[in-house]
C-alpha cells in the first residue's frame, strides 16, 4: 500500500509529498498564501523601520553638525574679536611707548636749545667785554703786537 501511494504521488506531483507536513498545513491555500504575504510584509516593515531609525539617527547627526558648525562660527568670531582687542592693546602700548620716546626727544631738544642759547649769550657777553673766547680746555694764544700805524702823513705822488 505504501509503495502504491508513493508511485501515485510520483505520477501525480513528480515528487514524494511529506504527509506529516501536509497535515500541519491548514486546509485553505489562500490562508497559507496570506500568512506568507504577512510574513513578507512584516520583514519589509522591519527593514523600513530600521531605515527610519538610521535616517532619524542621521537627522540627529545632521542637527548636531549644524549646531557644532554654528558654535564654531561663534568661536571664530570671538577669537577674531579677542585677537583684534589684543592687537589694539599692543598697538596702544607701542603708540604710548612711541609717544613717550617722542616726548623725551622733544625735551632733550628743548634743553639742548636752551643750552645753545645760554652758550651764545655767554659768547656774546665775553666777546663784548674784551675777553678771549675760546672753548674750554684750550689756552689763549700769545698776543701779537699790532702793526705800527704811521702817524706821519706824507703825501708822495701826484695831486
Q: 48-81 b/e with 16+ CB inside 10 Å = b? A: eeeeeeeeeeeeeeeeeeeeeeeeeeeeeeeeee
Cell of 28: 485553505
Q: What's the CA gap between 49 and 51, in Å, rounded?
A: 5
Select the more confidently predicted residue: 8 or 31.
8
pTM score of the predicted model: 0.34
Residue 154 has pLDDT above 60, yes or no: no
- Write out pLDDT tens, residues 36-67: 899 999 999 999 888 888 888 888 888 888 88
Q: Specify burial of residue 154 (Cβ count, 10 A radius: 0-12, 13-18, 19+).
A: exposed
9 by Cβ neighbours in 10 Å (0-12 / 13-18 / 19+) ranks as middle
**CA-CA distances (angstroms) from residue 73 to 57, 63, 117?**
24, 15, 64
Kindly calculate the radius of gyration of the chain based on its CA atoms and give it in whole angstroms: 61
Give CA angle at 113 (128, 99), nearest 5°: 175
3-state SS assignment for residue 136 = coil
Distance (Å, rounded) from C-alpha 134 to C-alpha 126?
A: 10
Segment 16-41, tens digit of pLDDT: 887 777 767 656 778 778 888 999 99
What are the helix (H) ranges across 1-157? Answer: 2-13, 19-24, 29-128
Say which residue, 96 or 42, is predicted with more confidence. 42
Grid coordinates belonging to 3: 509503495
Amino acid at each position: 500500500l505504501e509503495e502504491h501511494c508513493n508511485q501515485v504521488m510520483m505520477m501525480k506531483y513528480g515528487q514524494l509529498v511529506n504527509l506529516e507536513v501536509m497535515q500541519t498545513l491548514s486546509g485553505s491555500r489562500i490562508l497559507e498564501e496570506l500568512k506568507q504575504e504577512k510574513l513578507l510584509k512584516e520583514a519589509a516593515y522591519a527593514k523600513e523601520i530600521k531605515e527610519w531609525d538610521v535616517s532619524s539617527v542621521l537627522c540627529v547627526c545632521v542637527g548636531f553638525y549644524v549646531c557644532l558648525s554654528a558654535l564654531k562660527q561663534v568661536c571664530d568670531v570671538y577669537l577674531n574679536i579677542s585677537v583684534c582687542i589684543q592687537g589694539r592693546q599692543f598697538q596702544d602700548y607701542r603708540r604710548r611707548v612711541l609717544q613717550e620716546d617722542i616726548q623725551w626727544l622733544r625735551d632733550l631738544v628743548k634743553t639742548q636749545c636752551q643750552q645753545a642759547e645760554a652758550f651764545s649769550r655767554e659768547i656774546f657777553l665775553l666777546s663784548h667785554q674784551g675777553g678771549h673766547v675760546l672753548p674750554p680746555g684750550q689756552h689763549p694764544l700769545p698776543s701779537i703786537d699790532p702793526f705800527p700805524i704811521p702817524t706821519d702823513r706824507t703825501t708822495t705822488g701826484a695831486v
